[in-house]
Structure 1
Amino acid sequence: MTLNVKYFRRSVAAVHSVLKHSSCPENVYFHFVALKNNYFQDSRKMVKSVFPSLSFKVYSFNEFRVKKLISSSIRQALDNPLNYARTYLAEIIQPCVERVIYLDSDVVLVDDIQKLWSISLTG
């Protein structure tokens, strides 16, 4: 999930919904991606202040990696480089992580994420 100052409340709601509906919330680990800027330094503290026992890591995303590739669009939200970080997850997240479920910050789960995790992606 990406972390953005403007949408931080949405991210908190999404994390809360995952934890609330999870049969084993202690087994859920979050990987957050934030732009490498002044906010990046505070993002870990902000998440920790809301979810003190949450297992997570915050990764930085260099916006200049995609900024030159983004053309102006009808929706201003699509001009945010962080929207494209999901494309680079394999390069951003530690190599030992073999599988992730990417969630947008505006998603709310109403069932156990384990059901989604257990779906086989082979064949």
Structure 2
Amino acid sequence: MTLDAKYFRRSAAAVHSVLKHSSYPENVYFNFVASKNKDFQDLRKMVKSIFPSLSFKVYSFNEFRVKKLISSSIRQALVNPLNYARTYLAEIIQPCVERVIYLDYVVLVDDIQKLRSISLTGSKNYWSSRVL
């Protein structure tokens, strides 16, 4: 999930819904992606203060990597470079992470473990093509 100051409440609501509906919330680990700017450390501290027992890591995303690629003709909501960070998850997140469920400010009403348990055998595995 991405983190930024403007949409922080949405991220917090999504985290809360995942934890609330999880059978084993202590087994849930969050990987957040945030722009490396003045808010980076503040966002990390806010997550820790709201969810003190949450296991998480905040990765930085170089927004200049995509800023030049964003067309000025798209709608304003898509101008934020963090919207495109999900495309770079294989490069951002540590290699030891085998599987990711990307959440985009969703509110879950069931256990996320059900999504995690879906077998991807036989499907195209994005992570297997990762350059290490």
Q: Same fold (TM over 0.5)?
A: yes
| 2:19 counterpart of 1:19 | yes
Structure 1 residue 74 displacement after superposition: 4.1
1:52-78 CA-to-partner distances (Å, cap 9, x unmatched) read: 000000000000000000002442110
2:63 equivalent to 1:50: no
TM-score by length of 1: 0.97
1:73/1:79 contact within 8 Å kept: no
Q: Determine if the alignment matches structure 1 residue 119 to structure 2 residue 118.
A: yes
Matches within 5 A, 1:1-123: 1-105=1-105, 107-123=106-122
* 5+ residue gaps, structure 1: none
Cα offset for 1:33? 0.3
Structure with the larger RCO, 1 or 2 (CA within 8 Å, 6+ apart):
1
Q: Distance in 1 between matches of 2:26 and 2:95?
A: 22
Provide the identity percentage: 89
Match in the other structure for 2:130:
none
RMSD over aligned CA atoms reads 0.8
SS of the aligned residue for 1:38 comes to coil
The 8 Å contact of residues 21 and 113 in structure 1, kept in 2 or not, is answered as yes
- How many residue pairs get aligned? The number is 122
TM-score, normalized by length of structure 2? 0.90
Which segment drifts farther, 65-74 or 27-36?
65-74
What SS does the corresponding residue of 1:30 show, helix, strand or coil?
Answer: strand
For residues 72 and 110 of structure 1, the distance between their equivalents in structure 2, rounded to whole angstroms, comes to 36
